[in-house]
Amino acid sequence: MFGMVVPATANWKKIGIMGGTFDPIHYGHLHIAECSRHRFGLEKVIFVPAGNPVHKSRKSITSSARRMEMTALAIRSNPNFDMSEVEVRRSGPTYTVDTLEELHREGIGDQIFFITGADAILEILTWKNVVRVFELCEFIAITRPGYSFKEMDRVLTKLTKPQRDRIHFNETGGILISSTDIRRRVLCGEPIKYLVPPEVEGYINENGLYFPEGEEFE
């Protein structure tokens, strides 16, 4: 059975956690957060930019300060969205289990839903302390173009029934946007308008993000 972790300050809220590198944050992230909030009756969705992600092989990740600024700009028009610095405050690699423990300690809410795209769910068995992760949160799994729920069977059969019951599938939501494609577009001088909020687009342009150092497009 799952132990219930209830901090002294618990307010019995249903909270969504949207973790990601957010390099940069885009409408794909914002849309799945909003759809999950609506569908599962979440009172808030907390965006948690990753500090030093363990699952990312890409060498140069934009500084956490910049990724946080972009996230703050992107969510500010939605009163149901918030951001936590819990991961960027921590030095060393980021593990979801540590983040969830810390958010619990902070008394962020009673029932925590970790919102994640299909690609991230497929990696769940490689996460540190999966058993504890499932005690601390439930999952909202969103399809993402290019990933199907069928592939997930391989992963799901390795979980226990109570664990599987804590994964809620949401087939509506994922849209064809990725941060990788946005970085590529900036590099090639292609538009990113309508893929990211205008504030994020402005921030990327003003700070010359995603160009190799010293190079700019005419």
Footprint of ligand ATP on this chain (CB under 6 A)?
20-23, 28-29, 32, 116-117, 119-120, 142, 144, 174-175, 177-180
Residue number of the CB closest to ligand ATP reads 117
CA distances from 204 to 66, 70, 75, 137, 192 (A): 9, 8, 16, 33, 10
Rounded to a whole number of angstroms, the minimum distance from the CB of residue 172 to ligand ATP is 11
Rounded to a whole number of angstroms, the minimum distance from the CB of residue 81 to ligand ATP is 14
Specify the long-range contacts of residues 51-58, CB closer than 8 Å, at least 24 apart: 51/87, 51/88, 51/89, 51/90, 51/91, 51/92, 51/93, 51/94, 52/91, 52/92, 52/93, 52/94, 53/21, 53/93, 53/94, 54/93, 54/94, 54/95, 55/120, 55/123, 55/126, 56/21
11 vs 180 by CB, closer to ligand ATP: 180
CA dist 87 and 89 (Å) reads 5
28 vs 109 by CB, closer to ligand ATP: 28
70 vs 108 by CB, closer to ligand ATP: 70
Rounded to a whole number of angstroms, the minimum distance from the CB of residue 183 to ligand ATP is 7
Rounded to a whole number of angstroms, the minimum distance from the CB of residue 108 to ligand ATP is 19
9 vs 169 by CB, closer to ligand ATP: 169
* 97, 133 contact by CB (below 8 A): yes
Rounded to a whole number of angstroms, the minimum distance from the CB of residue 196 to ligand ATP is 11
9 vs 126 by CB, closer to ligand ATP: 126
